[in-house]
Amino acid sequence: MSVKIAPLSGFPEWLPAERVVEQLFLDVIRETFELHGFVSVETRAVEPVSRLVGKGGDADKEIYGVHRLAGDADGGSATDPDAEAGDPDKALGLHFDLTVPFSRYVLENAGKLTFPFRRYQIQKVWRGERPQEGRFREFTQCDIDIVDAGSLAAHYEAEMPLVIADVFSKLPIGEYRIQVNNRKIPEGFYLGLGLTDVVGTLRIVDKLDKIGPEGVTELLAEAGATDEQIGQCLALAEISSTDTSFADRVRALGVSHPTLDEGLAELTAVMEAAMAQRPGVLVADLRVARGLDYYTGTVYETQLVGQESYGSICSGGRYDALASDGRTTYPGVGISIGLSRLLARLVSTGVVRASRPTPTCVVVALGVEEDRSRAMAVAAELRGRGIATEIAPSAAKFGKQIKFADRRSIPFVWFLGADGASDSVKDIRSGEQVDAEAATWTPPAEDLRPSLERVEA
């Protein structure tokens, strides 16, 4: 009986050529994070549901629960073998981001960590949302965070987007824009307007790019805001600048509140630091709010220029109260590249590709099967010198083996010398063939490994 295989939407699986692109991106990201002094950690895939809920705004309803298919023989819980039946504190869920599990990791290991602690984390996360372009139910995030004990210096909030700018400068993603805001600005502004449901208002305004001013106006009105308050909220959201002039434009709206003043000062400091290091890389955009509840200060979003409707491909912010053991609070700031989301756009549109879909640089041809041991010795010699090599799957005419290499975009075919003759290697792109020894031959640097290519329309 035949079995029909149906794909699961929202769980991307790359083809080999696409996976090469992903691996090359990961190499750049990992290397750049480490250049900035971040150390790698990995956390478990599951957390107690009680810890996950209430941390992610609307993400609560998207958390995947985890349970065993069968409960204990005595009728115990199917969530955790050690749990008592019905104990909600033992229910497990897959993490929907990497910040919440990282905050728990900090609390559990605080006595073994040196603060300020700089970590990077590259892992899968899961969200049970409706799959659509660029939105998946399983995807890879690449996070960096800096946490400290008791207090966290404000200069780290300027460092986060500068690290990301360094990463993106090495990747062929095209023009991008890192938008930055401070949650205290809209919070103080809304309080100054007399809007007491700050979180609810933030969530509505955060939908501006998705539903437009008309949709936001309708939702704010349903929430009880007056026409004047709605107009002021929209006016604030329209303010953006690549320098510190945003502060004067906010003050010109005539709203005052201590929290607003604090947020303007903090965002001004971030922009000044960024302007000194990488002018123009940051845009103060006061519509950016971020929907996750744990952010308390600076927040970031990043968009591909000309593809703003696609949404953010890198985001994050400051959180002051996510990690606390009752005695010590560990404030932090972090930013995350949505790698699966970014690659989905770049690969699907054909903008980015790998120079070849395999790491193999050389195929050792086999004229007769009896030469396989010699071929294995050549391959071992080349691999020992860092040259990715494979052996032809079976003996065949050399023309057929060249076609095998060509189909896989492998640039070189190695021919074993017969009757004491020297070995030779052929560049199948140019047709050039030269004598070679496995102990000394080296391909051009650009052919040694696959590389990233940007294809302009």
pLDDT of residue 60: 66
Residue 23 has pLDDT above 80, yes or no: yes
pLDDT of residue 122: 98
Mean of pLDDT values over 285-308: 87
User: Locate tokens 């071929």: which residue?
Assistant: 375
pLDDT of residue 48: 93
Distance of alpha carbon 328 from alpha carbon 130, whole angstroms: 38
Query: Of 3.40.190.10, 3.90.1330.10, 3.40.50.20, 3.30.930.10, which CATH number belongs to 16-66+84-353?
Result: 3.30.930.10
> What is the average pLDDT value for the chain, to the nearest integer?
91
Neighbour order of strands in the sheet with 92-94: 46-48, 92-94, 65-66
- Which tens digits make up the pLDDT trace of 416-426? 998 889 999 99
Strands 176-182 and 298-304 turn out to be antiparallel
What percentage of the chain exceeds 70 in pLDDT?
93
Residue 415 has pLDDT above 90, yes or no: yes
- List every span in the chain annotated with CATH 3.40.50.800: 362-454
Residue 340 has pLDDT above 60, yes or no: yes
Lowest mean pLDDT among 67-71, 118-122, 402-406, 451-455: 67-71
- Which tens digits make up the pLDDT trace of 354-408? 999 999 999 999 999 999 999 999 999 999 999 999 999 999 998 999 999 999 9
Distance of alpha carbon 192 from alpha carbon 236, whole angstroms: 12
Residue 161 has pLDDT above 70, yes or no: yes
The third-level CATH classification (topology) of the domain covering 362-454 is Rossmann fold (3.40.50)
Burial class (CB in 10 A: 0-12, 13-18, 19+), 332: buried
Buried/exposed 422-457: b ≥16 CB within 10 Å, e otherwise: ebebbebeeeeeeebebeebebeeebebbebeeeee
pLDDT of residue 3: 72
pLDDT of residue 78: 47
- Which tens digits make up the pLDDT trace of 73-89? 444 454 555 544 455 56
Strands 282-285 and 176-182 turn out to be parallel
Lowest mean pLDDT among 85-94, 198-207, 294-303, 428-437: 85-94
Cis peptide before 116 (omega within 30 of 0): yes
CA 170 vs CA 25, 133, 173, 183, 400: distances in Å? 9, 25, 9, 30, 38
Q: 339-348 vs 16-35: helix axis angle to the nearest 10?
A: 130
Distance of alpha carbon 68 from alpha carbon 66, whole angstroms: 7
What phi-psi label fits residue 29: left (phi over 0), alpha (psi between -120 and 50 degrees) or beta? alpha
DSSP string, 272-284: HHHHHHSTTSEEE
pLDDT of residue 56: 56
Check: CB of residue 453 under 8 Å from CB of residue 353.
Answer: yes
Given pLDDT bands bounded at 50, 70 and 90, which one contains residue 45? very high
Residue 410's closest CA among 356, 332, 451, 449? 356
Given pLDDT bands bounded at 50, 70 and 90, which one contains residue 64? very high
Residue 243 has pLDDT above 60, yes or no: yes
- List every span in the chain annotated with CATH 3.30.930.10: 16-66+84-353
CA 74 vs CA 79, 87, 88, 193, 225: distances in Å? 14, 15, 18, 58, 55
Mean of pLDDT values over 204-233: 92
**What tokens were used for 91?**
């229910």
Q: Between 195 and 56, name the one with better pLDDT.
A: 195
pTM (2 decimals)?
A: 0.89
